[in-house]
């Protein structure tokens, strides 16, 4: 089965510095809603919406005039904001070691297209990075957000800032892009403990299903209601996990729940769910329902998966 989120190319990366606050440390898209290819349009929770990022005025950088570490970091951010990556790299390299510097070095490596080179810096940053200690508190006091944005499969734009959750969210996508699925899953499980991010939950559920951990998928999704297109995709995985566990009747209930709402759902998502439900009908001995659903799918798209072959076998 084709996953919604696949290992593959990630980027392009764009960096910046702004005034504002990111409640979660990362965000999706450019506005209050996000169109996810092969799933549908999702209205994002407020803390996952791109924050209001105001321009940084030059006066912020002139806040410091001495040779302190914090001032040096601000001047490095100024170079980063202006796109002078070489100067930023030199400023950060000359400064003292800190998790914030490691994170920014990782950002700079990504801007240079060196993804595998960025990962060790980001991993290093997570060893000690805290939201409200040291330089993090200094930046928070000024309201300055250094960030990086990128697009990852299946076409989702994301922004992350120099916070523990932001760096973890970035690393999870980087790991997945190079096929390091176990490392990606470990981070996603940690982030999912905070709840409230349906996209992240869907990514995690896909990895759990891929690893055959069907009971864990059921545990995470058993109380889910179908309110959004992402919920439909999650219920799809719940149904497949129940089916794989041999609980056919409950799996059929979950497939029906996934199809209960169709507005805003991508037609391909609905077709995938209907196809899997049809196969379950066949396994449950409901031959009439199986033939009926396959015929409908064939009329809509006779080249969808193996629907054409199955229809040939029915006649």
pLDDT in tens, 54-70: 887 666 666 565 556 66
CATH of 14-195, one of 1.20.144, 1.25.40, 3.60.21, 1.10.3470: 1.25.40
The set of residues, in sequence order, having a beta carbon less than 8 Å from that of 283 and lying 6+ positions away, is: 248
Confidence of residue 78 (pLDDT cuts 50, 70, 90): confident
Mean pLDDT within 189-208: 93
Alpha-carbon dihedral sign for residues 20, 104, 30, 130? negative
Quick one: angle between helices 229-244 and 198-210, nearest 10?
20
Percent of the chain surpassing pLDDT 70: 90
Q: Specify the domain boundaries for CATH 1.25.40.10 within the chain.
A: 212-314
Assigned CATH class of 212-314 = mainly alpha
Confidence of residue 310 (pLDDT cuts 50, 70, 90): confident
How much is the pLDDT for 19? 86
SS (H, E, C) the chain: CCCCCCCCCCCCCEEEEEECCCCCCEEECCCCEEEECCCEEEECCHHHECCCCECCCHHHHCCCCCCCHHHHHHHHHHHHHCCCHHHHHHHHHHCCCCHHHHHHHHHHHHHCCCHHHHHHHHHHHHHHCCCCCCHHHHHHHHCEEEEEEEEECCCEEEEEECCHHHHHHHHHHHHHHCCCHHHHHHHHHHHHCCCCCHHHHHHHHHHHHHCCCHHHHHHHHCCCCCCCHHHHHHHHHHHHHHHHCCCHHHHHHHHHHHCCCCCCECHHHHHHHHHHHHHHHHHCCCHHHHHHHHHHHHHHCCCCCCHHHHHHHHC
pLDDT in tens, 88-125: 888 887 766 778 888 999 999 999 999 999 999 999 98
pTM of the model as a whole: 0.89
Alpha carbon separation from 139 to 30, 90, 99, 134, 181 (Å, rounded): 23, 20, 13, 9, 33
């Amino acid at each position: 089965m084709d996953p919604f989120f696949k290992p593959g190319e990630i980027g392009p990366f764009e960096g910046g510095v702004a005034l504002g606050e990111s409640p979660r440390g990362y965000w999706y898209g450019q506005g209050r809603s996000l169109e996810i290819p092969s799933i549908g349009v999702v209205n994002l929770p407020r803390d996952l919406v791109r924050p209001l990022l105001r321009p940084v005025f030059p006066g912020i950088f002139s806040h410091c005039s001495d040779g302190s570490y914090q001032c040096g970091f601000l001047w490095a951010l100024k170079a980063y904001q202006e796109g002078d990556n070489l100067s930023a790299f030199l400023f950060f390299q000359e400064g003292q070691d800190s998790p914030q510097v490691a994170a920014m070095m990782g950002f700079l490596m990504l801007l240079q297209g060196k993804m595998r080179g960025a990962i060790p810096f980001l991993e290093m940053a997570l060893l000690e990075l805290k939201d409200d200690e040291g330089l993090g508190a200094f930046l928070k006091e000024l309201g300055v957000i250094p960030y990086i944005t990128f697009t990852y499969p299946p076409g989702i734009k994301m922004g992350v800032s120099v916070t523990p959750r932001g760096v973890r969210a970035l690393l999870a996508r980087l790991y997945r892009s190079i096929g390091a699925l176990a490392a990606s899953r470990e981070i996603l499980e940690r982030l999912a403990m905070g709840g409230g991010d349906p996209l992240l939950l869907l990514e995690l559920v896909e990895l759990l299903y891929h690893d055959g951990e069907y009971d864990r998928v059921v545990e995470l999704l058993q109380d889910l209601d179908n309110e959004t297109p992402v919920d439909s995709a999650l219920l799809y995985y719940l149904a497949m996990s129940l089916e794989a566990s041999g609980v056919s009747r409950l799996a059929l209930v979950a497939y029906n729940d996934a199809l209960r709402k169709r507005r805003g759902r991508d037609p391909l998502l609905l077709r995938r769910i209907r196809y899997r439900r049809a196969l379950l009908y066949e396994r449950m001995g409901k031959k009439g329902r199986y033939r009926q659903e396959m015929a409908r799918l064939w009329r809509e798209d006779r080249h969808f998966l193996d629907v054409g072959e199955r229809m040939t076998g029915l006649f």
